[in-house]
Structure 1
Amino acid sequence: MYKHILISTDGSDVAQRGVDHGLSLAKSLDAKVTVITVTEPFPFHASAAGGGWVPLPGDISGYEEGQKKAAEKLLATVRESAARIGVSADVLHVPDARPAEAIVEAAKAQECSLIVMASHSRRSLGRLLLGSQTSEVLAHSPVPVLVVR
């Protein structure tokens, strides 16, 4: 059935429910697991430059280094959780990317047969039940997506 499961996390409590569910499913199916986290680019807003603020190279590199360290810590924690229940998990950090696009691309590149992710945001009327990133993954995924609420 599902031989390789891609589990997405952003480190939130809601995402952790998706991680827990995905790892349990992988254990029961004896499936390979890859856990992905995506960090977005430095949040530079065009309007900020008009207000006189322009980020310095140190601002950007500090942000990127902080994002990398946070991702490494998060993925190490998930890998340890997986090991505790007897699941071997590969981890993947995709920096400077839009989460939904990176998740779909990783699923293709890793030849995953299922994506597991949590849903947790209510940004507009069209997305009352699912978060925007989850909606995008559902719309563009080449494989089934299990949404954990």
Structure 2
Amino acid sequence: MMAPFDKASFTRTKRGLYQHILIATDGSELATKGVEHGLALAEALIANVTVLRVLEPEAREIGDEALAGEPENAFTRRDPQVDDTMGKQFAWIEQEAVERGIHVELLREIDDVPAKAVLKAAKLTGCDLIVMASHGRQDPHRLTLNRQTDEVIAYTNVPVLVVQ
């Protein structure tokens, strides 16, 4: 007689196809859906997760204050604001990961080209799947994703899961 299938012991001994998922987010409502989808997938596959939030530099704000003779104020004021914003955005992700039993690493990167930061993080973390959210636009000739997602897909050899 065959023993009953024990999914818990099977999945703990046999890791899924993807073992490290990079989830890219910009903090938007749509990106939140991508994060939720990526975490659910990681739970099912028992995969590790790195969540990357890419912020664009605020060079104009810093430049204006530097011209006013207060360059230190621009940097010291910005860092706590960024830390506070990132802490709030990452708090729910950390909580969700804990509830799902997922190991998650949270990264932030400042880059004026988010796709470049995603590609760099994918390489540095050794992920084997990238999850991104994108608005799909139906075109008679092709499905157009947003520019950053298009660039990631074009320049990586890592599979990309696009959540719409």
- The alignment's TM-score, normalised by the length of structure 2, stands at 0.74
Q: Give RMSD over aligned pairs.
A: 2.4
| Structure 1 residue 3 corresponds to structure 2 residue 19 | yes
- Give, as a single letter, the amino acid of the residue that structure 2 aligns with 1:36: L
Within the candidate set 65, 90, 93, 1:78 is matched to 93
Q: Structure 2: state its 5+ residue gaps.
A: 1-16, 67-72
Within the candidate set 109, 130, 151, 1:136 is matched to 151
Task: Report how far residue 136 of structure 1 moved.
Answer: 1.2
Verify the 8 A CA contact 1:42 1:96 in the aligned structure 2.
Answer: no
The within-5 A match list for 1:1-149 is 1-44=17-60, 55-57=64-66, 58-59=73-74, 61-120=76-135, 129-149=144-164
Task: Work out the number of aligned pairs and report it.
Answer: 138
Task: Report how far residue 90 of structure 1 moved.
Answer: 0.9
- Larger RCO, structure (CA 8 Å, separation 6 or more): 1
Q: Distance in 1 between matches of 2:132 and 2:155?
A: 14
Q: Which has the larger radius of gyration?
A: 2
| Same amino acid, percent of matched pairs | 43
Q: Distance in 1 between matches of 2:43 and 2:119?
A: 23
- Give, as a single letter, the amino acid of the residue that structure 1 aligns with 2:55: T
Verify the 8 A CA contact 2:51 2:107 in the aligned structure 1.
Answer: yes
Verify the 8 A CA contact 1:108 1:142 in the aligned structure 2.
Answer: no
Task: Report how far residue 132 of structure 1 moved.
Answer: 1.4
The C-alpha deviation readout for 1:31-61, integer Å capped at 9, x for no partner, is 111111011111529xxxxxxxx51143454
Task: Report how far residue 84 of structure 1 moved.
Answer: 1.8
Verify the 8 A CA contact 2:111 2:117 in the aligned structure 1.
Answer: no
Verify the 8 A CA contact 1:11 1:74 in the aligned structure 2.
Answer: yes
Moved more, 9-18 or 67-76: 67-76
- Give, as a single letter, the amino acid of the residue that structure 2 aligns with 1:3: Q
Q: Distance in 2 between matches of 1:65 and 1:135?
A: 32
Q: Distance in 2 between matches of 1:39 and 1:18?
A: 17
- SS at the partner of 2:81? helix
Moved more, 66-75 or 8-17: 66-75
- SS at the partner of 2:144? coil
Task: Report how far residue 81 of structure 1 moved.
Answer: 1.4
